[in-house]
Amino acid sequence: MASCSQPPPDNSPDPCAVLSTECPYCSQPGPKETCTNAAVTGDDVQCTVALDDPGVVADCVVPDGGGDATLEGGAEASMLPMCNTTQALPEAGCSCAPPCATTCPTGGCDITCPAGGICAPSCDGGHCTIHCESGATCDATCNGGDCIFTCAAGSTCNNTCAAGGCAFQCADDSVCNDMCPPAPRCTGP
């Protein structure tokens, strides 16, 4: 009787979720278009190709955190449009005005908690990106899994990834108390 072994589970972060965090930082039109078009498809293969594209790698650089992080065109992250007070839409990133308990039931949202804010967004559909700016306190929940949590220097993050597969990006000089189930594993500190 032959026994079959299953390959180990893929615990790497979702390439499209990773890519969606990089696209707002593109400064040139070509790499920005490549990045955005791949991220919108939600196709892991297209997102991986874009993540490996030398133009995207060189141009779409996410800063290492801190309150000085800026998006394309030099706009500060807190200058994003305001999220709906109860429900965020996945079409575009938005800033979550404190006190904030925004939800993203369909997933794929990009939510920023501005400096000094106290925010508790939730992502039921998964594949969200939650940014916690310097000086903010974020208590975000990702029930759908495969979310990316960025915690800038000087911020406090108490994020929970209920379904696993999330990426926690905790900058130096930030406080991160992130929780993830044992499987699928999360990445980051």
Spatial CA neighbour of 149 closest among 181, 183, 189, 116: 189
What is the per-residue pLDDT across 14-57, written as a single tens digit (0 to 9) for each? 777 777 777 777 777 777 778 877 877 777 788 878 888 878 77
Q: Side by side, which strands form the sheet with 148-151?
A: 94-95, 110-113, 129-132, 148-151, 167-170
Residue 184: asked if its preceding bond is cis (omega within 30°), the reply is: yes
pLDDT over 80 (residue 77): no
Residue 3 reports pLDDT greater than 50: no
Model pLDDT, residue 166: 93
Distances (CA, A) of 63 to 55, 59, 67, 100, 120: 17, 12, 10, 25, 23
**Predicted local confidence at residue 28, as pLDDT:** 73
Beta strands 175-176; 156-157: pairing state: parallel
Confidence (pLDDT) at 75: 39
pLDDT at residue 91, as a whole number = 59
What pLDDT does residue 63 have?
Answer: 54
Which tens digits make up the pLDDT trace of 123-140? Answer: 999 999 999 999 999 999
Q: Between 185 and 79, name the one with better pLDDT.
A: 185
Collect all residues with Cβ–Cβ distance below 8 Å to 49 and sequence separation of at least 6: 38
Distance CA 71, CA 26 (A): 8
Does the pLDDT of residue 173 top 50, yes or no? yes
pLDDT at 62: 65
Give this prediction's pTM. 0.58
